[in-house]
A and B are shown apart, each in its own frame.
Chain A
Amino acid sequence: MNLTAIAAIYRFEMGRTFRTIAQSIISPVLSTALYFIVFGTAIGSRIEQVEGVSYGAFIVPGLIMLTVLTQSLSNASFGIYFPKFIGTIYELLSAPASFLEITAGYVLAAATKALAIGLIILGTAFFFVDLTIAHPVWMLAFLVLTCLSFSLFGFIIGIWAQNFEQLQLIPLLAVTPLVFLGGAFYSITMLPPAWQTISLFNPVVYLISGFRWSFFGLADVALGWSVLAICGFTMACIAVIAWIFRTGWRLRS
């Protein structure tokens, strides 16, 4: 195992984060604070409670998930797309490093940054709402797994993308709507029955539901399904990346 290579990629990617610390941290924290103000305070004053939890607190897990998903995707996809774009990918391809080692370096760095931002937002939330975390270990496990799995997904997008438009395409056209429709700001039990059924096909519902359960003990779907969904998604992403490196798809000619 070339652990030195993993560490080198990780340090290099984290270096990029620290170089752009302001845009890395301030911007997601600011946009989350705006969500709290608009959804939590303005709309929350009309909704008050969802299943016994104040609306302001209820949206916290969804807001964290929204940011963590977006950050994981954009960090990891940019991390591997940029070397492709500027041509430095040659070095990765000619290095004595396996697909697992290269992926680990990029994905761990992207996930670390997303996790840090998720925790900062959680910290910020305490300033806006009264919040208790019922199952902190589960909460952290869900957060870490989400960061990892969506960083893996982002890594695939970064390899797939052949230009900057494609790099933005999936996060904008697929992930953001899935998160918004995945119960980030409401419980899917608030929807008409037909829409509830349709929502069950949205994988993000399982993530947000499980994550929200770790805060309030409330879930839209059974906890087991949430755990299964996130583990299944992680495995699927790893399998796709292994295939990419074996065949050289979009990497080696």
Chain B
Amino acid sequence: MTSPILSIDRLTKTYGSGFKALNGVSLDIRDGEILALLGPNGAGKTTLISTICGIVQPTSGRVTVAGHDTVRDYKAARRLIGLVPQEIALEPFEKVITTVRFSRGLFGKPRDDAFIEKILRQLSLWDKRDARVRELSGGMKRRVLIAKALSHEPRVLFLDEPTAGVDVELRRDMWQVVEQLKADGVTIILTTHYLEEAEAIADRVGVINKGEILLIEETQALMKRMGQKEMRIELTEPVSEVPGVLSGYGLRLEAGGCRVVYTYDRQAERTGIGRLLRDMQDADLHVSDVETRQSSLEEIFVGLVAEDAGEARP
């Protein structure tokens, strides 16, 4: 495997109040991947990003970006990083293009109007380039934040809850932007509450809770490994209870006895579907419809966090 673009080694952060926001986080991020960090509120997602970017001082541990230490060699490290914060923070009276140019200069890059135009066009902001920031909609402001973060051509982009509080349409727009950036070779680390988001765009998913990484895995592999499928079988006539001959299947009755739900492991050699349907026919249960669905990342995530909380309990 090639060396990681970003390497986090036993990073801890304890705030002045004694709150331990990061508890020995170690994580390698590969060049060009999209990593989604999932976690409940207060899990340490934003602290992790802020510590890497230099906004929060780490208590211990080390972070390197393309081999540059973020504390000792901070200038070289930070030149490679772009940050889109969670809160919309922009100079309200500035023009869009001025604030984006400012960001490029601040990060030590000479003025390049052609490049700024390319970014603004990519983010559908070119027509708004001379508008004052305060005149823009919330979604447009978020795009300006992304444009600012990309203005100095970073190799690693942090998106801290990029779609928090935006409507569905804009969220899908944002996903397209992320896909485009990935195609351009930018490594993306995004935090999100929306598991659908991680599932849709991330190559890998990390789950963080109480300042610790609980799990980090390829999204697809995770879905396969932990994903269970459900088969919902609609009956033509309701039943009051599952017939005794079907007791070995662990069936669940729903919708007033009109639906039987069978949970199975898709990866298993034998799913048992065929046998179940035969046995149901033998038990005189008539099927009107069948539907299968995969458990979402959300269910996996809720399970993991609950497991973590359970372990912590004495």
Interface presence of A92 (CB below 8 A): yes
Contact indicator A8/B106 (Cβ below 8 Å): yes
- By size class, the interface of chain B is 35 or more
Cα distance A23–B269 when bound, in Å?
A: 78
Contact indicator B76/A96 (Cβ below 8 Å): yes
Interface presence of A87 (CB below 8 A): yes
Interface presence of A90 (CB below 8 A): yes
Min Cβ gap A242→B in Å is: 16
Cα distance A220–B107 when bound, in Å?
A: 48
Contact indicator A86/B106 (Cβ below 8 Å): no
Contact indicator A253/B15 (Cβ below 8 Å): yes
Contact indicator B74/A4 (Cβ below 8 Å): no
Interface presence of A46 (CB below 8 A): no
Q: Could you tell me how many residues of chain A have their Cβ less than 8 Å away from some Cβ of chain B?
A: 27
Interface presence of B309 (CB below 8 A): no
Cα distance A16–B57 when bound, in Å?
A: 31
Closest B residue to A88 by beta carbon equals B89
Give the segment of B1-9, B97-105, B209-217, B258-266 that binds chain A. B97-105
Interface presence of B53 (CB below 8 A): yes
Interface presence of A91 (CB below 8 A): yes
Contacts of A2 in B (CB 8 A): 75, 108
- Please list 8 pairs of residues, one from A and one from B, whose beta carbons are closer than 8 Å in the complex, sorted by A's number: A8-B101, A86-B91, A91-B106, A94-B54, A94-B55, A94-B78, A96-B74, A253-B15
Known A87-B85, A87-B89, A88-B89; contact A93-B54, beta-carbon cutoff 8 A: yes
Contacts of A252 in B (CB 8 A): 54-57
Contacts of B74 in A (CB 8 A): 96
Interface presence of B195 (CB below 8 A): no
Closest B residue to A16 by beta carbon equals B93
Contacts of B75 in A (CB 8 A): 2, 96-98
Cα distance A171–B148 when bound, in Å?
A: 34
Cα distance A9–B85 when bound, in Å?
A: 20
Given contacts A4-B108, A11-B105, 17 further A-B pairs with CB under 8 A are A2-B75, A5-B106, A9-B102, A11-B102, A82-B91, A88-B91, A90-B85, A90-B89, A91-B83, A91-B89, A93-B53, A94-B83, A95-B107, A96-B74, A96-B75, A97-B106, A252-B57
Interface presence of B81 (CB below 8 A): yes
Interface presence of A195 (CB below 8 A): no
Cα distance A45–B90 when bound, in Å?
A: 53
Pick from B102, B105, B106, B109 the residue with the most CB of A within 10 Å. Answer: B106
Give 1 or 0 for each of A16-33: 1 = CB within 8 Å of chain B CB. Answer: 100100000000000000
Cα distance A214–B13 when bound, in Å?
A: 54
Interface presence of B92 (CB below 8 A): yes
Which parts of A55-92 form the interface with B (CB within 8 Å)? 82, 86-88, 90-92
Cα distance A75–B218 when bound, in Å?
A: 51
Interface presence of B110 (CB below 8 A): yes
Contact indicator B98/A248 (Cβ below 8 Å): no
Cα distance A15–B55 when bound, in Å?
A: 26
Contact indicator B83/A90 (Cβ below 8 Å): yes
Contact indicator B56/A96 (Cβ below 8 Å): no
Contacts of B90 in A (CB 8 A): 86, 88
Contacts of A11 in B (CB 8 A): 102, 105
Pick from A8, A87, A98 the residue with the most CB of B within 10 Å. Answer: A8
Min Cβ gap A151→B in Å is: 19
Min Cβ gap B155→A in Å is: 13
Closest B residue to A13 by beta carbon equals B102
Min Cβ gap A7→B in Å is: 6
Interface presence of A12 (CB below 8 A): yes
Give 1 or 0 for each of B52-89: 1 = CB within 8 Å of chain A CB. Answer: 01111100000000000000001111110101010101
Cα distance A9–B15 when bound, in Å?
A: 30
Contacts of B87 in A (CB 8 A): 87
Closest B residue to A251 by beta carbon equals B55
Contact indicator A253/B56 (Cβ below 8 Å): yes
Give 1 or 0 for each of A91-132: 1 = CB within 8 Å of chain B CB. Answer: 111111110000000000000000000000000000000000
